[in-house]
């Protein structure tokens, strides 16, 4: 640390100002090996002091955590300390970025801090949970180990808590990389990052990656790599909701948040997890001024009784809410399919998108031709259905009808995509929206 502000009474919690890469941040380290990793009330006071200093000085927060949480020997005083830390962390939300690294156990109060952080990077041998194996066994009768209950692979794929998993030594490096895309606080613009990648570079390979058949799969990350500077995407939550790709990159030096449907996973449809993942990422980028670049190729929301019963309506609304609320520069490119409700929530003009582009291969419609035929020509013979499908494809499954009506701003050659995106970011770099005064919005949860 460049400057240590305070150390907890136990000496296992420290808070101080540190330089991470080219960023200055408040680094708070909670690593307690005593009493199975429990922390005393004085330790939580150190965390609170560090967070309050970060707010006052407008510094990003980096938490390095490895503890079992409140020490039972101190009774309710320990719980009070962790509650106070959580309250101050909430005050940091949307004001300064809060990044957490987990390098060991994270239980109870520490787990709560993880849940309140913007980004969480776990080491591959770390684990985190609110209730451990013993209470799970006593209350449910299920015998389970800590790794199976809350190991890093579980949080990377099943819960979505971990934004990334790496080696213990790589946790701080990963947090530093993510921090490089972000401003220190909400009142400062994201950094411009120097690049040798020409802004006028053509990207014909991006269009060539689309399969020749409409239902063919491809890895949208290959297209992203073709478009962004140096082909570098720092992906978050890659193992959770893989049908939607989210991550940071730069375009012409601009730090941007990238969202893209992933046809390799359930055909790029949106389900509950993808809607939550996308909404959380859009909110984070909007809070800290990162422009949003959205690549669209989705046939719609994933159908099913289970999803509907679990709240597909509510969670799908989260993504729509996040985009509609976002005030940062927003540009979207329809690569192939954009159908139904998923067309709306993937940053359409209806949601307040600034620039909506489409490749000539784009299909914007309520549904695909075969689905439309089954509904609108029910009972017709095969020849009539075939004729209808052909007519539907010719009439609706292209971007030009939408462009005529103003729903698409421009149909572009895939080779020009990178240049168009950078030109758009230049144009929108001075975008400012005046927000209506209110206490706060009420996002669907």
CA distance 264 to 95: 36
The segment with the largest mean pLDDT, out of 35-39, 45-49, 174-178, is: 174-178
- How much is the pTM? 0.93
pLDDT value of position 413: 98
The 8-class DSSP code of residue 355 comes to E
Q: Which of 113-117, 295-299, 378-382, 405-409 has the least mean pLDDT?
A: 378-382
pLDDT, averaged across the chain: 90
pLDDT value of position 366: 77
Cα–chain center distance at 444:
17
> Mean of the pLDDT values across residues 188-213?
96
Burial class (CB in 10 A: 0-12, 13-18, 19+), 209: middle
Give the DSSP letter string of 41-108: HHHHHHHHHHHHHHHHHT--EEEEEEE-EE-GGGTHHHHHHHHHHHHHHHHHTTTS-EEEEEEEEEET
Per DSSP, which regions of 312-409 are E strands? 330-339, 355-358, 363-365
CA distance 402 to 348: 11
Q: Which of 75-84, 199-208, 260-269 has the least mean pLDDT?
A: 75-84
Determine the length of the chain. Answer: 445
419-430 confidence digits (pLDDT tens): 999 999 999 999
Residue 288 banded pLDDT, cuts 50, 70, 90: very high
124-133 confidence digits (pLDDT tens): 999 999 888 8
Cβ 258 vs Cβ 228: under 8 Å: yes
The 8-class DSSP code of residue 112 comes to H
pLDDT value of position 35: 40
Q: Nearest 5°: phi and psi at 245?
A: -95, 130
**Which residues, at least 6 apart from 416, have a Cβ–Cβ distance to it below 8 Å?**
202, 203
Fold of the domain spanning 3-179 = 2-enoyl-CoA Hydratase; Chain A, domain 1 (3.90.226)
pLDDT higher than threshold 70 for residue 438: yes
Cβ 137 vs Cβ 143: under 8 Å: yes
The domain spans of the chain are 3-179, 204-362+398-428
pLDDT value of position 4: 65
> Mean of the pLDDT values across residues 165-187?
97
Give the DSSP letter string of 152-221: HHHIIIII---SEEE-TTTHHHHHHHHHTTS-SSTTSPPPB----S-TT---HHHHHTS-SSTT----HH
Positive or negative, the CA dihedral 423, 429, 432, 433 is positive
Query: Which secondary-structure segment (H or E) carries 13?
Result: strand 13-20
Top pLDDT among 364 and 260 is at: 260
- Could you tell me which of 166, 128, 163, 168 has the C-alpha nearest to residue 147? 128
CATH number for 204-362+398-428: choose from 3.30.950.10, 3.40.1180.10, 3.30.43.10, 3.90.226.10: 3.90.226.10
pLDDT value of position 34: 44
Q: What percent of the chain has pLDDT over 70?
A: 89
91-122 confidence digits (pLDDT tens): 999 999 999 999 999 887 788 899 999 999 99
At residue 122, the 3 state secondary structure works out as strand
Cβ 326 vs Cβ 279: under 8 Å: no
Residue 392 banded pLDDT, cuts 50, 70, 90: confident
Q: Which two tokens stand for residue 246?
A: 């989210």
Top pLDDT among 317 and 1 is at: 317
pLDDT value of position 80: 76
> Mean of the pLDDT values across residues 271-295?
97
Burial class (CB in 10 A: 0-12, 13-18, 19+), 383: exposed
């Amino acid at each position: 640390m460049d400057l240590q502000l305070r150390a907890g009474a136990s000496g296992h919690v420290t808070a101080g100002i540190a330089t991470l890469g080219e960023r200055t941040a408040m680094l708070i380290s909670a690593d307690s090996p005593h009493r199975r990793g429990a922390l005393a009330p004085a330790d939580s006071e150190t965390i609170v002091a560090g967070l309050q200093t970060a707010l006052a000085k407008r510094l990003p927060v980096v938490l390095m955590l490895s503890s079992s949480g409140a020490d039972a020997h101190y009774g309710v005083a320990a719980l009070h300390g962790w509650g106070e830390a959580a309250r101050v962390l909430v005050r940091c939300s949307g004001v300064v970025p809060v990044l957490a690294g987990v390098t060991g156990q994270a239980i109870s109060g520490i787990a709560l801090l993880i849940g309140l952080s913007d980004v969480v990077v776990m080491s591959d041998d770390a684990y985190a949970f609110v209730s451990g194996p013993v209470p799970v066994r006593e209350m449910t009768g299920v015998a389970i180990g800590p790794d199976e209950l809350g190991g890093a692979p579980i949080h990377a794929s099943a819960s979505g808590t971990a934004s990334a998993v790496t080696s213990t030594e790589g946790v701080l490096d990963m947090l530093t990389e993510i921090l490089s895309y972000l401003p220190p606080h909400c009142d400062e613009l994201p950094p411009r990052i120097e690049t040798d990648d020409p802004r006028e570079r053509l990207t014909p390979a991006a269009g060539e990656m689309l399969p020749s058949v409409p239902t063919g799969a491809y890895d949208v990350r290959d297209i992203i790599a073709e478009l962004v500077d140096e082909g570098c995407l720092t992906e978050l939550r890659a193992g959770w909701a893989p049908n939607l790709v989210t991550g940071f990159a730069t375009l012409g030096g601009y730090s941007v948040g990238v969202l893209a449907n992933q046809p390799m996973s359930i055909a790029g449809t949106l389900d509950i997890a993808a809607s939550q993942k996308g909404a959380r990422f859009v909110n984070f980028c909007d809070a800290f001024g990162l422009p949003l670049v959205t690549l669209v190729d989705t046939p719609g929301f994933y159908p099913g009784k289970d999803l509907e019963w679990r709240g597909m309506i509510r969670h799908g609304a989260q993504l729509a809410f996040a985009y509609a609320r976002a005030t940062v520069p927003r540009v979207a490119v329809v690569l192939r399919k954009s159908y139904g409700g998923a067309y709306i929530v993937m940053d359409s003009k209806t949601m307040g998108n600034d620039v909506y582009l489409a490749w000539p291969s784009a299909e914007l419609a309520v549904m695909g031709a075969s689905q439309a035929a089954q509904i609108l020509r029910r009972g017709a013979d095969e020849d009539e259905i075939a004729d209808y499908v052909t007519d539907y494809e010719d009439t609706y499954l292209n971007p030009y009808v939408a462009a005529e009506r103003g729903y698409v701003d421009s149909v572009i050659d895939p080779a020009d995509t990178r240049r168009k995106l950078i030109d758009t970011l230049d144009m929108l770099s001075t975008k400012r929206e005046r927000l209506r005064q209110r206490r706060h919005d009420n996002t669907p949860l």
